[in-house]
Structure formats: C-alpha cells, structure tokens
Amino acid sequence: MDQLSMKKMAAQAALQYVKPYSIVGVGSGSTVNCFIEALGIIKDQIKGAVAASKASEELLRKQGIEVFSANDVSGLDIYVDGADEINPQKMMIKGGGAALTREKIVAALAKNFICIVDSSKQVDVLGSTFALPVEVIPMARSQVARKLVALGGSPEYRESVITDNGNVILDVYNFKIMNPVEMEKELNNVAGVVTNGIFALRSADIVIVGTPEGAKIIE
Ligand code: 5RP
C-alpha cells in the first residue's frame, strides 16, 4: 500500500474523536490535508477549527469550515496533527512544513493531541531519520547555528523558507535525541530560538498509525 493511502486511513480514523459542535484544532502537512478533507464531509456537525498554519487555514475555508483564531478560544477538546517522527513514548519531531511554532501553540490549547502518521514515521530514537527543525529569529541565525554546532549538531539553513511568523528554519542533522524533554528545554533556551521541533513536553495522547493492515490506534 502506498504512503498516501496510509495517511488517508489514519486521517479518516481520527474523525471518531471529533465531538459534535466542537471547535477542532488542526495542524498542518500532507496527512493533515487528508484530515481536513475528511472533516469537510462532516462540516455541518462541527462549529469550526483553529488552524496551525496559513496553508491549513486556507484549506479549511475551501472546505467551508469556519476558522477561529487561537485567541478566540479558551481551550480545545482535540488537536489533530501529523509528525515527522514519533517514538514509543508518543514524543515527536515536527516542523517539516515549518509550522512548528504555531503547532506547539495550538497543541497547548488542546486536552487531547491526536497524532496521525503512516508507519514510516515510527522510530525508537528521535533524530534517527529526520533532521530537527529549529525556528530562529533571522538576525540570530548565525549565532544560533554556532551554538547548535557546539551542541554536536550539523545545522543547515532551509533556504527560501520564511515561516508564517516571519522567521527562518535551521534543520539540524546528526542529533540523536536520547533525552527529548531536556533537549527540548535546552534548545528553547538559546537566545534567538523561537522554538524547536521536539514535541516532548507536550507529547501526543493518542497515535493513529496508517498501516497496510488498517488504522492502528495507540492510546
Ligand atoms: C509541519 C509538520 C507536519 O506535521 C510534519 O511535517 C508531517 O508532515 P506530513 O504529514 O506531510 O508527513 O510538523 O510543520
């Protein structure tokens, strides 16, 4: 089975967690795009969505789903998002689509984080297959890169990408993330870092993995 079909399967299975007349937190990326499409079919049963990227906002509107600002809600029942890597503790690397900061903000509003992935995203140790994205204030790019090198990483500037917040992305290779919680805190303490793509302090609550055998739910 191809990867897109597995993403669609995970996205479809996430619908069972959507409460009637609720506002749904929606992340970004190709798996989430499948979820937005599925959400469009039940749009009359929900109040709307809070989106973690401008791209998701646009897709939600195209489906006829009302988009609320994160400032308009005091909390969300669920947040549905993909991941670049997820470990057995439901901690993730995210930010392949450069939306990590807004994703962290919307995830923090939600009672339940539902992570939808295909099976290629499952790893034992974060950093095994995917570079770690770090969102950086443009004027601090070089000094943050030097600090990341000092910490053992190999940062690469993601050319011609500006985040929805007007910042830049450094993708850090060669980080084996043995202690995700400590690493997330340490990197977020570097001056000039807006946030990094480790989602360990706020990990997922439910993981839905699209596999050739069907959607597997890990609660
Ligand atoms: C965007 C993200 C995405 O959730 C992550 O990159 C996974 O994307 P995809 O569903 O396209 O594989 O973190 O910033």
Q: Which residue in 57, 103, 135, 184 is the catalytic one?
A: 103
Supply the CATH number for residue 33's domain.
3.40.50.1360
How many folded domains does the chain comprise? 2
Q: Is the CB of 31 under 6 A from ligand 1?
A: yes
Structure confidence by residue, pLDDT tens digits, 148-188: 999 999 999 999 999 999 999 999 999 989 999 999 999 99
**Residue 202 burial by Cβ neighbours in a 10 Å radius (0-12, 13-18, 19+):** middle
103 assigned to active site: yes
If asked whether residues 155 and 107 sit together in one domain, one would say no
> What pTM did the predictor assign?
0.95
Q: Is the CB of 203 under 6 A from ligand 1?
A: no
Structure confidence by residue, pLDDT tens digits, 114-150: 999 999 999 999 999 999 999 999 999 999 999 999 9
Q: Is the CB of 97 under 6 A from ligand 1?
A: yes
The residue whose C-alpha atom lies closest to atom 2 belonging to ligand 1 is 95
Structural domain harbouring 213: 3-123+201-218
Q: Would you state the pLDDT for residue 176?
A: 82
Would the pLDDT of 25 be above 90? yes
* Beta carbons within 8 Å of 160's beta carbon, 6+ residues apart: none
Supply the CATH number for residue 186's domain.
3.30.70.260
Q: Distance between CA atoms of 100 and 195, rounded to whole angstroms?
A: 7
If asked whether residues 12 and 114 sit together in one domain, one would say yes
Single-letter amino acid, residue 136: V
